[in-house]
């Protein structure tokens, strides 16, 4: 895909699909567009949240129970209890996070909810297969991808990094780790200093452009200065609880596939025609794992 | 500064300024708040652009003539010719860039304008003093800060990285390097693959929250699908041409100051009370050089 061209050029590019497809060095977007079906894995509907904002905009969030089982368990219980319906986005701090809260944080949570989850900030590496990034990570001894997720690794511990669109659990001061009622999504430059200090529970798969464009809050820490500024949440549902026609049927690229290796290499070494000098390197959070609608 | 707290807690934090100030490990924000006047350098008004959007929102952009003298020279000529007054933001691609264009790109540029500038994608290191980042950069052999700017270094070449808020020159395919009429600002995760492939000419010092919150374009590459969606630019002026009362009087932290060293160390090793585990590392673009209004 041609980037940063002037506004008139994309039309030209669209008129020349054959030439683009025949280029000797495909761009990352071209690799994704031509990925075989075997390179994709379905996102299970019981791990997928669908947030609908007041204006109808939808945001699909994949949960990561393999990294934060207690917190994501809480989130599933809350979604099934319609906990966030009528809640709101209460904070948008520029270059940091978008944060939302339920309608009534003091209400009695549903059965099965764990009021004080353990600090699921990282997990044992155990037998997790990791496809290495292949480049240095300023925040961890090594980094890579596992079962479709970016991961950082230090010895026998592994964790989900705070990349753009990753979703975590807001918390008070330690040792309270947050219970999952207030969640945040990273809206910009990866605040990796938060890694292993908060529980990452998932990531936005589609609709991040809606959260990213929300007005920034003007109170301290980017909270909205008045309730009137809050962005109302119509509902957050578990996809599995929606009629199939209303579920987003999404797929994430398998990070153990040869196609992902091609994509990663292309992200690190842009040799498609727009580029004059490939970087020969790439940051963990600058390799967003591709997502598509299931064909 | 306390981060990612629940919405009720910031009020408590504001009630306890003495306790926060007495903490043994100050946060980056606390270091900035207490920085002495000697740690700050004025931004010269002849290097500062003031963009005013249709709704009155202002964005201050510092130019970097030391890195792109021909391109920034063009931009100064264009600003003085009111080139972007009545122009518009024409593209907002989520997690990539915000791009704007003049009212009439076919008009005859003002005297002094260089139609085909050289590729000012990097420059000779020569005698530039660089304060090292101290941590690895996946995109360059080394990285650091020079005269208030983040820089990446490879041998005897040095360049400005594509961090959040950095401003560059849109271009067509090589060897045309863009003339400065169309500019972009990075609105998210640092697209460092663009380093040394485009001319970085400056950075947003204040007002990035306005550009960051713009609606995303729905056409290819994030261009707005119709002219009606474009975000009108009332004016872009050189601060030096404005009455003093209308100039933003800004200061950037000196990156060769002891205060900046403290700030950098604190960014890499968060030990203020919210944090349970410091990262012992930080990415170049995750150390935004502090900016303040001149007191």
**C-alpha to C-alpha distance for A60 and A229, rounded to whole angstroms:** 23
**Residues 84-143 in A contacting B (C-alpha not used; CB under 8 Å):** 90-92, 94-97, 99, 101, 105, 119, 121, 135-140
Q: Does residue A245 belong to any structural domain of this protein?
A: yes
Selected residue of A138, A141, A277 to mutate for chain B interface (largest B Cβ count, 10 A):
A138
Contacting residues for B287 by C-beta, under 8 A, at least 6 apart = B133, B145, B150, B263, B264, B267
Q: Does residue A174 belong to any structural domain of this protein?
A: yes
pLDDT single digits (tens) B263-279: 999 999 998 888 999 99
Tell me whether A277 touches chain B (CB under 8 Å).
yes
pLDDT single digits (tens) B182-228: 999 999 999 999 999 999 999 999 999 999 999 999 999 999 999 99
Q: Does residue A32 belong to any structural domain of this protein?
A: no
> Nearest 5°: CA angle at B147, between B141 and B150?
40
**pLDDT tens digits, chain B, 295 residues: what are they?**
233 444 433 333 333 333 344 446 899 999 999 999 999 999 999 999 999 999 999 999 999 999 999 999 999 999 999 999 999 999 999 999 999 999 998 999 999 999 999 999 999 999 899 999 999 999 999 999 999 999 999 999 999 999 999 999 999 876 677 999 999 999 999 999 999 999 999 999 999 999 999 999 999 999 999 999 999 999 999 999 999 999 999 999 999 999 999 999 999 999 888 899 999 999 999 999 999 999 9
Q: Going by DSSP bridges, is the β-strand pair B183-186/B166-169 parallel, antiparallel, or unpaired? A: antiparallel
Taking contacts as CB-CB distances below 8 angstroms, the residues of chain A near B185 are none
Q: Going by DSSP bridges, is the β-strand pair A48-53/B157-159 parallel, antiparallel, or unpaired? A: unpaired
**Residues 52-81 in B contacting A (C-alpha not used; CB under 8 Å):** none
Q: Which ipTM was obtained for this model?
A: 0.91
Domain carrying residue B163:
39-260
The DSSP element (H or E) to which B99 belongs, if any, is: strand B97-101
Q: For the range B35-39, what are the long-range contacts, defined as Cβ-Cβ under 8 Å and sequence gap of 24 or more?
A: B35/B253, B35/B257, B35/B259, B35/B263, B35/B290, B36/B259, B37/B295, B38/B254, B38/B257, B39/B253, B39/B254, B39/B257, B39/B258, B39/B259, B39/B260
**C-alpha to C-alpha distance for A165 and A200, rounded to whole angstroms:** 11
Question: Nearest Cβ partner of A286 from B190, B198, B267?
Answer: B190
Taking contacts as CB-CB distances below 8 angstroms, the residues of chain A near B283 are 138-139, 190, 192, 283
- Collapse the DSSP code of B60 into the 3-class scheme (helix H, G, I; strand E, B; otherwise coil) and give the result: strand
Q: Does residue A88 belong to any structural domain of this protein?
A: yes
Contact status, residue B46 vs residue B240, Cβ threshold 8 Å = yes
CATH number of the domain where residue A188 is located:
2.40.100.10
Q: Which of A256, A276, A287, A290 is nearest to A25 (CA)?
A: A276
Bridge-partner residues for A169, per DSSP?
A: A183
Residue of B nearest to A91 (CA): B7
Q: Does residue B292 belong to any structural domain of this protein?
A: no
Provide the number of structural domains found in chain B.
1
Q: Does residue A270 belong to any structural domain of this protein?
A: no
Q: How far is CA B133 from the centre of its chain?
A: 18
Mean pLDDT by runs of 10 across the 295 residues of chain A is 37 36 76 98 98 98 98 98 98 98 94 95 95 97 98 97 98 83 96 97 98 98 97 98 97 98 97 91 98 97
Q: Going by DSSP bridges, is the β-strand pair A149-154/A97-101 parallel, antiparallel, or unpaired? A: unpaired
Question: Nearest Cβ partner of B95 from A182, A193, A212?
Answer: A212
Selected residue of A4, A141, A162, A231 to mutate for chain B interface (largest B Cβ count, 10 A):
A4
Q: Does residue B195 belong to any structural domain of this protein?
A: yes
Q: Does residue A168 belong to any structural domain of this protein?
A: yes
Token digits of residue A157: 């511990």
Q: Which of B20, B7, B255, B164 is nearest to A191 (CA)?
A: B164
């Amino acid at each position: 895909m041609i980037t940063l061209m002037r506004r008139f050029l994309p039309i030209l590019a669209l008129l020349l699909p054959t030439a683009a497809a025949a280029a000797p060095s495909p761009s990352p977007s071209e690799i994704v567009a031509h990925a075989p079906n075997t390179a994709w894995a379905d996102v299970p509907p019981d791990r997928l949240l669908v947030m609908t904002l007041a204006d109808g905009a939808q945001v699909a969030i994949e949960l990561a129970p393999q990294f934060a089982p207690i917190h994501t368990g809480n989130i599933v219980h809350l979604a099934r209890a319609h906990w966030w319906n009528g809640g709101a986005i209460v904070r948008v701090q520029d270059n940091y996070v978008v944060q939302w809260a339920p309608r009534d944080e003091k209400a009695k949570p549903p059965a099965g909810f764990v009021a004080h989850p353990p600090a699921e900030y990282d997990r044992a590496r155990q037998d997790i297969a990791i496809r290495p990034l292949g480049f240095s990570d300023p925040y961890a001894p090594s980094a890579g991808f596992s079962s479709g997720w970016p991961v950082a690794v230090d010895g026998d511990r592994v964790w989900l990094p705070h990349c753009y669109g990753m979703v975590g659990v807001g918390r008070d001061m330690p040792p309270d780790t947050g219970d999952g009622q207030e969640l945040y999504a990273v809206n910009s430059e990866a605040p990796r200093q938060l890694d292993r200090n908060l529980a990452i529970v998932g990531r936005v798969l589609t609709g991040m452009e809606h959260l990213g464009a929300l007005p920034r809050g003007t109170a301290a820490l980017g909270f909205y200065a008045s309730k009137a500024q809050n962005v109302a949440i119509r509902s957050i549902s578990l996809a599995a609880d929606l009629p199939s026609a209303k579920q987003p049927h999404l797929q994430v690229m398998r990070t153990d596939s040869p196609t992902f290796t091609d994509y990663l290499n292309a992200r690190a070494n842009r040799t498609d025609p727009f580029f004059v000098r490939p970087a020969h390197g790439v940051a963990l959070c600058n390799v967003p794992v591709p997502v598509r609608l299931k064909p």
